Amino acid sequence: MQNLGLPHPEQKMDIAVPANLRRGEPESGTPGEKPDWGPVSHTFAGGLEIDPQWVAEHRDRVTLLDVREAPELTGDLGSIEGIVHIPLGALPDRVGEVPRDKPVVCLCRSGRRSAQACVILDKAGVADVANLPGG
């Protein structure tokens, strides 16, 4: 809850219970407006995910933000050349280092931490942010 910057559930039960009954789907039944900068889709959690194949084919059109920890960059998965690396735990204090001239695609090993990074960036006012599902 702290990483997501959300209040304690007791404070929002009147909102959380109906949302859970809808399986997280928006009350209107449709998610917000779909961005036009790439093939993104809304998740039930309200975030945006982007097609990994499109990202691979259009790397020059996005900023890739890797939120893995430094030791992970030397393991089996290594690192991608030209990527911005800010570990998730440091991101709230280093949001200003994220380039804003292109849409930002967050990634990690599995897609979980990068989804949290998208929430942090969105709350900081960074426009055009999507998660790379599956890492």
106 tagged catalytic: no
* Catalytic-role residue among 50, 62, 108, 120: 108
CB 54 within 8 A of CB 39: yes
What does the alpha-carbon distance between residue 84 and residue 108 come to, in Å, rounded to a whole number?
12
Positive or negative torsion for Cα 126, 127, 133, 135: negative
CB 63 within 8 A of CB 103: yes
Known catalytic residues are 108
